Structure 1
Amino acid sequence: MRTLCASTLIGEVFVVLFAACVAMKMTDVSTAVVWGVSGVVMLFCVLLCGVITRPGAVAAGWALQLGLLASGLLLPTMYGLGVIFAGLWWCSVHYGRKIDVIKAERERATAAA
């Protein structure tokens, strides 16, 4: 699960970076606010990559997805990107857990042999 979720989060870092560049030019929000909020979100994504297996990290990832969707209020394109990344997050968590179960079963079988 760690690899899939981290890949999605790093992808989101780039989306937030590029969205900040667009928001800086296309909105009335000050540059300092745009980069301050975007910087915190990007830092949160990177830090979340490191703690994704800890309790509450997946829920924090879902909160991040909601925040990405909410950024559509500022840039309407972010609604679409938010939906796409929420879907990617769901896939990362869902299939990542399945992969973890398969790996654990394989390790048990190897240890038993």
Structure 2
Amino acid sequence: MRVLGSAVLVMEFFIMGFAMLLAKDNHEASTIVAGAVIAILLLLTPGLLKKRAGWILGSLLQILMIGYAVVVPSMAIVGLIFGGLWIAAIIVGRKGEAARAALMATRTPDA
């Protein structure tokens, strides 16, 4: 679950960097600063995914990515795609962890 979530967040970091490049010519500095804050949080959040707070922060960042569409309209589509990938990371990750736990429960320890 953490690996998939981390991959989504790091890829969004790069996407946010490209979005800030698109926004730099037509918008105020405050929108660039807001994008930079989101990008930095996207890069730091994978380290927090061991805890529930990391997943909550990651979900909040998904909303902020979609919200950045006010500055760069194409971010709405990209944000929705990555939001879907985030949800898929949570669902697939939970199934994978459940399968691993079941496998570990049936495994006999070496004596």
TM > 0.5: yes
Q: Write out per-residue CA displacement over residues 33-56 of structure 1, whole angstroms, 9 at most, x where no aligned residue.
A: 344222221221122101112022
Distance in 1 (CA, whole Å) between partners of 2:56 and 2:62 is 10
Distance in 2 (CA, whole Å) between partners of 1:111 and 1:34 is 56
Cα displacement (A) at 1:112: 5.4
TM-score by length of 2: 0.89
Q: What is the aligned length? A: 110
Cα displacement (A) at 1:21: 0.5
Query: Following superposition, which runs of at least 4 residues in structure 1 exceed 4 angstroms of deviation?
Result: none
Instruction: Tell me: higher relative CO, structure 1 or 2? Use CA pairs within 8 A at least 6 residues apart.
Output: 1
- Corresponding residue of 1:59: 56
Is 2:38–2:64's contact at 8 Å kept on the other side of the alignment?
no
C-alpha RMSD over aligned residues: 1.6
Identity percentage over the alignment? 25
Which aligned pairs between 1:1-113 and structure 2 lie closer than 5 A?
1-25=1-25, 27-30=26-29, 33-111=30-108
Is 2:23–2:71's contact at 8 Å kept on the other side of the alignment?
yes
Distance in 1 (CA, whole Å) between partners of 2:27 and 2:6 is 32
Q: Write out per-residue CA displacement over residues 65-84 of structure 1, whole angstroms, 9 at most, x where no aligned residue.
A: 11011111111101101110
Helix, strand or coil at the partner of 1:75: coil
